[in-house]
C-alpha cells in the first residue's frame, strides 16, 4: 500500500533547461546541486531529481513530463522552462499552453509546483519582452502555483552583470549560481513547509 504523501520523503523534480542543467559548469557547481547542499544544511530530508536538459523547450519538457512523473513521483516540481522558446521565437501561446499542461499534470498527480520565470533581453522589443514575462505569472495565477518571477534577478541586472556570465553572455558562471538558488529558495522553502 502506498504511503500517504505527508509521510513520504519529499521528492523535488527540477524540470528545466541549460540554466538548471549546469551548462558550462563543473558538476556540482549549478544551483540545483547547491539546493541539495542547502536542504542538507537546513536538515530537510528531501531527494532532488534534476531532469533539466540544455536546449530544452517547454514543448520538450511537456513531452518528457509524463514519464518523469511516473518514474519519480515528485511531491514538488520546480518548472524552469521557456527561455529557449523565446530564443527560437516560438509563439507565446504555445509556451503558455505547455507550461499550463505541465503544471496541471503535476498538480493532478499531487505535486506542488513552483514556476520559475525568466526574462528576455530588451533587444527582443518592449512588447514581446513584457508579454513573455507575463506568461509565467499568468500560468502561476491560473493554477495557483508558487512563482519566482525572474531566475536571474541579482545576476542579469547586477552592476557587474557581464562578469557573472560565461563568454556566451547567456549562461551564468559558477559564481552566480548561489544567487540563482537564493532566488528560488524562499518560495521552495514555503512549499516544502506547507502541508
Q: Is 145 a catalytic residue?
A: no
- State how far the Cα of 146 lies from the Cα of 189, in Å rounded to an integer: 11
C-alpha closest to that of 82 among 66, 69, 93: 93
Catalytic residue among 17, 18, 58, 145: 18
Cell (9 digits) for 115: 514556476
Q: Is 171 a catalytic residue?
A: yes
- State how far the Cα of 157 lies from the Cα of 179, in Å rounded to an integer: 12
- State how far the Cα of 139 lies from the Cα of 108, in Å rounded to an integer: 15
DSSP notation for 48-77? EEE---TT--HHHHHHHHHHHHHHH--SEE
Catalytic residue among 54, 59, 171, 182: 171
Active site residues: 18, 168, 171
Amino acid at each position: 500500500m502506498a504511503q500517504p504523501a505527508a509521510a513520504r520523503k519529499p521528492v523535488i523534480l527540477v524540470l528545466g533547461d541549460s540554466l538548471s542543467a549546469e551548462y558550462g559548469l563543473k558538476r556540482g557547481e549549478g544551483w540545483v546541486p547547491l539546493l541539495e547542499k542547502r536542504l542538507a544544511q537546513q536538515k530537510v530530508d528531501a531527494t532532488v531529481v534534476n531532469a533539466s536538459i540544455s536546449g530544452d523547450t517547454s514543448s520538450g519538457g511537456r513531452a518528457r513530463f509524463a514519464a518523469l512523473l511516473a518514474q519519480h513521483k515528485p511531491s514538488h516540481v520546480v518548472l524552469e522552462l521557456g527561455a529557449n522558446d523565446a530564443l527560437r521565437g516560438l509563439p507565446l501561446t504555445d509556451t503558455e499552453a505547455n507550461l499550463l499542461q505541465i503544471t496541471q499534470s503535476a498538480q493532478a498527480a499531487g505535486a506542488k509546483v513552483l514556476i520559475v520565470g525568466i526574462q528576455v533581453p530588451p533587444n527582443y522589443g518592449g512588447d514581446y519582452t513584457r508579454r513573455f514575462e507575463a506568461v509565467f505569472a499568468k500560468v502561476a495565477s491560473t493554477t495557483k502555483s508558487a512563482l519566482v518571477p525572474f531566475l536571474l534577478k541579482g545576476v542579469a541586472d547586477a552592476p557587474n552583470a557581464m562578469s557573472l556570465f560565461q563568454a556566451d553572455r547567456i549562461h551564468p558562471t559558477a559564481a552566480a549560481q548561489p544567487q540563482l538558488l537564493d532566488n528560488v529558495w524562499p518560495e521552495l522553502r514555503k512549499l516544502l513547509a506547507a502541508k
